[in-house]
Amino acid sequence: MPLNLDHIHPRGRGGSDRVSNLALACIGCNQAKNATPIEEFLKGRPALLAKILKQAKAPLRDAAAVNATRWALWRALQATGLPVATASGGRTKWNRSRTGAPKSHTLDALHVGHLETVTAWPSKVLVVTATGRGTYARTRTDRYGFPRLRLPRTKQVKGFATGDLVRATIPTGKNTGVHTGRVAVRTTGSFNITTRHGTVQGIGHRHVRLLQRADGYSYTTHPEARHRAAFPPPPEGGGIHAGGI
């Protein structure tokens, strides 16, 4: 169902365009309400009225903090003496429409600010996910909060720690092959490795080789094409020139 932005306190009665004075409404409700005060329009639905009025009184401190941080960053960058420019989301969308690029986070970053043209864009993107560095808790609990098993006091087993990026080469057996991913260690020396294709269980530590120590993040690559339905070729000629914050 198509939705409209509706002013909680009608603009015809002095309402502003402040974010907290806006609410989503279907076209029918928006037209029926028109310039009627919200208290009168929803007098038969007190629960919904209370919810909307609570939203209207919500402070904008989070938005203010983001704006303050953005301009503080801008001033800090200007202080370096390097050229700095600002741009809006509308400029990014306009740039993207000129080059024929579909919408994705990667391509939005490529089309920020002043842009002459784009000759190519990446076929793969690196996705970084914060995973943390484990927990200090040495027990696992059931759904009621009672301990159900104890964890070892040391994080490393046979030189590996849960979260390390490893590669296991299995010559024979049901797990035959090369498996690359994040390891979950066990005191028995039989590890699990989570790859992009799933989790492989029961891999002996003798077959495992360390690629990277766990640093609190996971790294994967995704085809850029998976973020959109089509991949039209970029226009020919010119070079990449994008900048701004």
| 30-42 confidence digits (pLDDT tens) | 888 888 888 888 8
Check the CA dihedral 180-181-185-186 and report its sign. negative
What is the predicted pLDDT for the residue at 12?
82
Give kind and range of the element (H or E) at residue 92: helix 89-99
Given a contact cutoff of 8 angstroms between Cβ atoms, the answer to whether 177 and 167 are in contact is no
Instruction: Name the band, by pLDDT with cuts 50, 70 and 90, for residue 62.
Output: confident
Phi/psi at 35 (5° precision)? -100, 20
Q: What letter does residue 117 receive in the DSSP assignment?
A: B
Q: What percent of the chain clears pLDDT 90, i.e. is strictly above it?
A: 29
- pLDDT by residue (tens digit) across 10-28? 888 888 877 778 888 888 8
User: What is each CA distance from 144 to 100, 141, 147, 148, in whole angstroms?
Assistant: 54, 7, 9, 10
d(CA 29, CA 232): 40
Short-list 109, 139, 145, 136, CA closest to 125: 109
Answer whether residue 225 shows pLDDT above 60: no
Rounded distance between C-alpha atoms, residue 164 and residue 60, angstroms: 41
d(CA 238, CA 245): 23
User: Which has the closest alpha carbon to 123: 11, 17, 226?
Assistant: 226
Average pLDDT over residues 96-122: 88
Round to whole Å and give the CA distance between 137 and 139. 6
Q: Render pLDDT for 205-221 as a digit per residue (tens, 0 to 9).
A: 999 999 999 988 888 88
Triad 241, 73, 57: Cα angle to 5°: 115
Lowest-confidence segment of 51-55, 130-134, 172-176, 224-228 by average pLDDT = 224-228
